[in-house]
Amino acid sequence: GLTGAVIVLPQGVAFATIAGLPPEYGLYSAIIPTIIAALFGSSLHLISGPTTALTILIFANVATLAHPFTPEYIQLVLTLTFLAGLIQLGLGLARLGAVVNFVSHPVVVGFTAGAAILIITSQLNHFFGLSLPKGHSFIRVWESLFVQINLSNPYVLSIGTFTLAATIFLKGFFPRLPDMLIALVGGSILSYSLGGQEHGVKLVGALPASLPPLSAPDITLRTLR
């Protein structure tokens, strides 16, 4: 449990950021579904918390309708996840889980590769310290990157490069160590040493210590369309 909590802390925050949500939403979605899955789920292998593919799917679909991190965007995400839950419940009651067995391996590989490209593209602004357009095709974002790359924040870029390089190095030479966790700690120390916050490095900051108030999804016809 402690190992899982330590790993999901940075992962949950990262997933929420990728999805365009406040960081605490990543932790909530890692806690509540896990409890429900433990009580009612039957699979020993299914991931019950947030995943990379789900976060980028949410961002790619909802970012075209509202600006990320805004109340309207969060409301749309809640509606989307509510609808996804209804569909999953219906599939479960109809005993249609076996349909997944008919999804071919090339389709899964293609989906995973596409999700990876979208994730990389969505994080370019954070890696280079730039303000790139959101809600557009990945080609448009990469074009903007090449136009503005000379305006990159050297502090942000140095910390991102160090963290990524440390992860790859540890994963290749010390696979038994928690590479991502060590790299994140190392990147945090480097940011503190360079005075990152004073040089444009955005910090997550303190997370709210209480759960958000319960709210109902917006299921009006306009939102559903």
Two tokens, residue 164: 């990524």
How sure is the predictor about 73, in pLDDT bands with cuts at 50, 70 and 90? very high
Contacts for 49-52: CB closer than 8 Å, 24+ residues apart: 49/8, 49/12, 50/11, 50/12, 50/15, 50/16, 50/19, 50/26, 51/15, 52/15, 52/18, 52/115, 52/119
Query: pTM for the whole thing?
Result: 0.72
How much is the average pLDDT of 91-118?
86
Q: What span, in angstroms and rounded, lies between the C-alpha atoms of 13 and 21?
A: 9
How much is the average pLDDT of 186-192?
93
Task: Identify the weakest region by mean pLDDT among 79-83, 106-110, 180-184, 212-216.
Answer: 212-216
Task: Please tell me the predicted confidence (pLDDT) of residue 136.
Answer: 65
How much is the average pLDDT of 59-81?
90
Has residue 218 got a pLDDT over 80? Answer: yes
33, 81, 93, 130, 165 from 85: Cα distances, Å? 11, 6, 12, 35, 38
Task: Please tell me the predicted confidence (pLDDT) of residue 138.
Answer: 78
Two tokens, residue 92: 């479960």
How much is the average pLDDT of 153-181?
92
Q: 141-150 pLDDT, tens per residue?
A: 888 889 999 9
Q: 2-47 pLDDT, tens per residue?
A: 877 877 888 888 889 888 898 888 888 888 888 888 888 877 777 7
Q: Report whether 130 contacts 148 (CB < 8 A).
A: yes
Q: What span, in angstroms and rounded, lies between the C-alpha atoms of 31 and 44?
A: 17
